[in-house]
Amino acid sequence: MKKIIVTHKNTDFDALGSLVAAKLLYPEFVPVLGHIHTKRVEEFIRIHKDFLNFTSTKLIDWNNVEEVIMVDFQEIQRSEDLDNIKNKDKVKWFIYDHHPEQNMEVKAEIQDIREIGATSTILCDYLVKNNITPDFLTSTIIALGIYADTGKFTYPNTKPKDLEMASWLLKNGADLNIISEYTTLTLEENHIDLSNSLMSNSEILNCGNIKVLFSYYTLEDYVHDLSLISHKLLEYYSTDAIILIVQMQKWIYIIAKSNLSNFNLIEILKEYNPKGHYQAVFCKISNIDINDIIFKVKNKLISYKLSKIYAKDIMSSPVRTINKRLEINKANDLLLRYGHNGFIVIDDNKKVVGIISRRDIDKALHHNMGNSLVKDFMTTNIISIDENTEFTEIEKLMIKKNIGRFPVLKEGNLIGIVTRTDILKTLYSKEIKSNTYSKSEIFSDINLKEKMKSFFTKEQFNFLDFISNEADKLGYKIFFSRWRCKRFNIGK
């Protein structure tokens, strides 16, 4: 066999799905499977062995191999037998992987390395482009790889392409019952024992704004699928990340996972030759005392620096305020005019004395109390923050107090405001479009006029400006909608 397809040892479902997909793309190549798999993959292979029809690595004459397709890995040492190829420079290499952090150790003829949820997704993309339609079982195996490596599309490395390819596979008959059966994580008795021991040794470390569950343990026997335990513990403690250090027999294993894209586990554990990607890492170490590893990793976590975000970085300023003596009717007019959800209320000395929300104003209007003053309906129990209040503290405060906006004060003076919209924009690093009015949608009069000038002709704009001025003189509000403009020729 001169042309083969291989994957990494400790074969997981993404590796398995990638092997199957690559075989469809390259029918002249022979899929080769090693003997070290995760437990659930081993169970799957035993039932589907006749269908899979993989060739054992023991049957390969490695000296005759001329072309190799590597799926779901790039580093020779991660395979069981590729080191048996003596003249690697004479071999044609093809690489498909979703671990851009790994080091490519061979010169590839073709390579497709994407930052995406699963390698199965990459190869499935080629099936679509080449109009190759898999049968229902092949579709199921490839989908298993995508579902497993994206955590059923919940891991941060999941991309739209993962869902697109999974949808395509479902259309081709992928069986969700099988996928659910093999991606459901269940703990066996030895897993439970080790989990209890790790929980006894665990502590939550604060790494800047990030909370990391850190634990370690030594045991005599080997327990498979440490990643299963790490997943369950991460879910149980609800921390941002987890690092487990476990010594079993002569080997020390480090399993690390992160739910944050800005917490690079590869960098933190680089001393121990980590495998995987920056949010999911595996290390296998020998000839080092476990206490030395525990000490170094723990200190690195404690000293880890992540740039902090403060109120002054996300607040809006200057802040539009209203006086406490303003009538409710006029406060409502301002809400409609500027698109706010509420206002900071000040006294005659421009000191903050309260907050009034849209809900407060609606309540007053509902009871026909529009002529009442803002001070009669505002909330006076103000919770303000300092410009140097950390983002995480603001977020916690907002959840605990169920308050939608915080005045930002400096030496008692109002310098800004932080709202729910600011929190969401920071969390998701995107503009948030609210279904209700929000302060992020405010335009000053000057800016709005400039926008209108760029949209309308000079004659049209002057006409609109004339109507606006006349309406102000008469005390009327005037609104223009697209529907009206279509039927009213402003140009004439």
189-302 is a CATH 3.30.360.10 domain: no
**Residue 436: predicted pLDDT:** 38
Task: Please provide the average confidence, as pLDDT, over all residues in the chain.
Answer: 86
CA dist., res. 355 & res. 426, Å (int)? 23
Give per-residue pLDDT as tens, 47-76. 888 888 899 988 899 989 999 999 999 988
What percent of the chain clears pLDDT 90, i.e. is strictly above it? 51
Q: Which token pair is 100?
A: 């851009």
479 has pLDDT over 70: no
- pLDDT (0 to 100) of residue 352: 92
Residue 475: pLDDT band with limits 50, 70, 90: low
Q: Which fold has domain 3-183?
A: inorganic pyrophosphatase (n-terminal core) (3.90.1640)
- In 189-270, DSSP assigns E strands to 203-207, 210-219, 241-248, 251-258
Confidence band for 291, pLDDT divided at 50, 70 and 90 = very high
- What's the confidence (pLDDT) of residue 489? 47
pLDDT at 481: 54
Q: What is the pLDDT of residues 206-230, one digit of tens each?
A: 887 788 999 999 998 888 878 889 9
Does position 12 have pLDDT exceeding 70, yes or no? yes
List of residues 6+ apart from 143 with CB closer than 8 A: 17, 120, 166, 169, 170, 174, 179
Contacting residues for 301 by C-beta, under 8 A, at least 6 apart = 205, 207, 212, 214, 243, 268
CATH superfamily of 312-441: CBS-domain (3.10.580.10)
| In the predicted structure, residue 331 carries a pLDDT above the cut 90 | yes
Q: Which residues contact 62 (CB under 8 A, 6 or more apart)?
A: 81, 84, 85, 86
Q: What is the pLDDT of residue 29?
A: 96
- pLDDT tens sequence across 236-247: 898 989 999 999
Q: What confidence tier does 484 reach under pLDDT thresholds 50, 70, 90? A: very low
59: CB partners within 8 A, 6+ apart: 1
pLDDT of res. 486? 41
DSSP 8-state symbol, 76 = G
List, in order, residues 6 or more apart from 298 with CB less than 8 Å away: 205, 214
- Omega cis (within 30) before 27: no
**How much is the pLDDT for 259?**
83
Asked if the model's pLDDT at residue 288 lies above 90, the reply is yes
Domain segments of the chain as ranges? 3-183, 189-302, 312-441, 445-486
Tell me the average pLDDT across 322-330.
95
What's the pLDDT score for residue 145? 97
Q: What angle do CA 156, 77, 20 make, to 5 degrees?
A: 60
The kind and range of the H/E element at 47 are helix 39-52
Q: Of 287, 197, 296, 215, nearest to 250 (Cα)?
A: 287
Whether 418 contacts 342, CB under 8 Å: no
* Phi, psi values for residue 182, rounded to 5°: -95, -10
79 or 489, greater pLDDT: 79
Q: Which two tokens stand for residue 143?
A: 């989908």
pLDDT, average across residues 248-268: 87
- Would the pTM of this model clear 0.75, i.e. be above it? no
Which pLDDT belongs to residue 430? 46
Residue 442 pLDDT greater than 60, yes or no: no
Residue 114 has pLDDT above 90, yes or no: yes
Does the pLDDT at position 362 exceed 50?
Answer: yes
Continuous H helices in 80-225: 119-129, 136-149, 160-171, 176-183, 189-201
Whether the predicted pLDDT of 492 surpasses 50: no
Helix, coil or strand: residue 210:
strand
Is there a contact between 462 and 454 (Cβ–Cβ < 8 Å)?
A: no
Nearest to 242 by CA among 294, 209, 290, 205: 205
- In DSSP terms, 428 is beta-bridged to none
How far the first Cα of the chain sits from its last, in Å, is 82
pLDDT per residue as tens digits for the range 80-108? 888 888 888 899 999 999 988 777 788 89
Amino acid at 299: N
* pLDDT, mean of residues 483-487: 42
474-480 long-range CB contacts below 8 Å, 24 or more apart? none
Pair 241, 259: CB distance under 8 Å: yes
